[in-house]
Structure 1
Amino acid sequence: MKKSNIFFSVLMAGSLLAGCGIQSAPPDKSAPAPTAQTAKDTKNPQQAVNQPPTPVVVKRIGAHDVQIEMTAQETDVEIAPGVKYHSWNFNGTVPGPVIKVKQGDTIHFKLKNMDPKIPHSMDFHAVTAAPNKDFANVAPNKEGEFTYTAENPGVFMYHCGTAPVLMHIANGMYGTILVQPKDGYPTDKRINKEFVITESEVYKQNDFNDMKNGSPSYVLFNGKTTEANKPLYAKVGDWVRIYFNNVGPNDVSSFHVVGTQFDTVYVDGNPQNVLHGLQSYAVPASGGLVVEFQVKKEGIYPIVDHEFSKATKGAIMKLVVTKDGNPPQQ
C-alpha cells in the first residue's frame, strides 16, 4: 500500500464525543493550565495546523549531523477558551516543537535562555550524554551549546532538567523527539496517516506542593483539553500510526483508541520491542509508544487515557474516519 497524506500532529484534537458516552469535565478556571499546538503535517513535521507556524528547529548540516536551536522562555498559553496558564516552555509553545532526527545522528544543540531570572537546561532522553556537562544549566539571558548522539530509535521525551525538575516540567518545559530507526519500521509501507500525541498533567500555577502531592487539575493531549482540540481525520481503510509520549510528570497513562485494537505496538518506539493485538498499553511517565491500527468503518474513534479520571480532565481527542479522509462539508 502506498503511503499518502502522511502527517504529524503536534497538538491534537478532541471535543465532546457525542454518541460515544465520553466527555470531559467543564474547565476549572480556578486552576489554569498549559497549551501547545495542533494537528498536522505533510512535509514539515515542525509546523502545526490552526496555530501560527512553529519555526523549524532541526536543520540537517551533514549526512549524520543535525543542528537544533531552541529557546527557553515564559509565555501565556491557552488550554481551553478563557483558560490560560503562564507557562515556562521551549520555543513559546507547550509542548515544545516535535523534533525528528535519524538513528545515529549527532545533534549539535544550542539553547538560548530568554528568561531574565531563572536558569534552564535541556535533557534529551534520546541521546547518550554526561548529564552534568551535556544537560548543564544555561544562565538567564545566556546561550549554551552541546553535542551528543542519538544512538537508539524511538519516541522520547525532552524536558528542562533544572532543579526542581518537577516544577520545570509541570510548568510546560517538555516535548517529544522522534528518532527514526536506521532501517525504518517493518510496517512502514502500509501506513497512510501518522500523528504525534503528547500527554501531560497540569497542576495549580507554580504550586510546588500541589505538583508533589496533589491530583492534576487537567490532563492534556498535546497541550489542550478535549474542548480545545480539533479532530484528526483518516479515511476508511487507512492504516494509522500514532507516536505517543507520556511526559507526566507524575502519572502512568493507559493509552487506548475506542473502537479498534492495536495491530502492532512498538514499546518506546523501538522496532525490536514489538507486540501484537493489544487493547491498551500502560505508558509510564517519560515513556514512549508507537501503535498501529486499521480503521475499517466511518465514524468517530475516541483516543483516550483509559484511566477515566484523566479522560474527564481533558485527555480525550477524536479521530474522525470518513470516506475520503476529509472533514464533512459545512
Structure 2
Amino acid sequence: MSFFSDVERELVVRGRAEIADGIVAIDLAPSNGRPLPRWTPGSHIDLVLGPGLERPYSLCSDPSDTTTWRVAVLRDDAGRGGSLAAHALAEGEVVRARGPRSTFSFPEDARGRVVFVAGGIGITPILPMVRSAAAAGVDWSLDYAVRTRTALPFADELRRHGDRVRLHVSDEGGRLDVAAVVADAGASPVWACGPARLLDALASAAGPATRLHVEPFVAGELAEPVRAEPFEVELLSTGEVLEVPPDRSILEVLEGHGVLAVSSCREGTCGTCETVVVEGEVDHRDRVLTPHERETSPVMMVCVSRAACDRLVLDV
C-alpha cells in the first residue's frame, strides 16, 4: 500500500542539464525559500506541467537535501506531452509539484545483500537506493541495461562504484541475462525499475524464494478486463451509485460526476489515485501493487483497475 503526501508547492527551476541523449536533469528549489521535506529512496513527485498534464518523476538527488530536488526526464516524442513539457522548462521558470510520494520505498536500514536492476531511465529511483546501500555498508550490486553508451545517464557516478555495477549495452551485444540475475540473487531482495518487458522478464524468472520489488516507468499493455459488462460503484460518503461503462474508467466516471479524485499518470503506474475498497472484488490492472498486496490490501488504482463483480463500494 502506498503512503504519500498530497501537498502541492511552487518550485523554481534552478538548473537544467543534458546528462545523456534525450535525458535532461532538472534541479528544483522552493520558491519561498523554505526547506523541502526529506524523502526516502524510491520516492517521486508529480509535476504539474499544464492543464490536465501531470506526470510522476522519480527523485534522484540526495534525500537529506532540503534545498533542492532533482529529477531526470527522458524525452518521448511519441508520448502524450509530459516529457516534452518537462524538457521545455527553462531556468528560472516556476512549476508546481505534489509530493513527495512513495510506492517503492527502499528501507534505510537495509541489511545483508541487495540486488538492483535498472533499464534505461529506470535508473532514477534506483540511484538513491544505491547511494543508501553504499553508505550503509550493504553488500550490493547493480545490473543496468541501456541501449547505447550515449544514452547512459550518471555515468561518472556509476563508474566510481567499480565492478559492483555491471553495465549491459544492447548495441554492443551486452544483453542482460535476467534469469541469471534472479538465480544469483537467491533469497536476497531485488529492487528493479525499467520498461515493462524487463519487469515482466524478472517476474517470469522469479521463483518462490525471490523477493522482487518493482516499479515501471511506463505503462505496459493492459490485459483484457475480467468482465466486459458495465458495473456499479457506490460512494461510501453519500451512498450515490454510479455506473461505469466498458469504455470509461472509474476515475473518469468520478470526475464526470464532480467527485474529487486525485490522480496523476492515469496509466496505473504511480499510485496517486489509490482508493480504499470497502466491498467488492477488484480486477487489478495497475503496475503498482505487488501480487501479495493485491490479495491483502483493501485498495485499488481507479485510473485503470475495474470491478470483477456487479458493484464496488469505495471509500470516496
TM-score by length of 1: 0.27
Structure with max Cα Rg:
2
Q: Which structure has the higher relative contact order (CA within 8 Å, separation 6+)?
A: 1
Higher helix share: 2
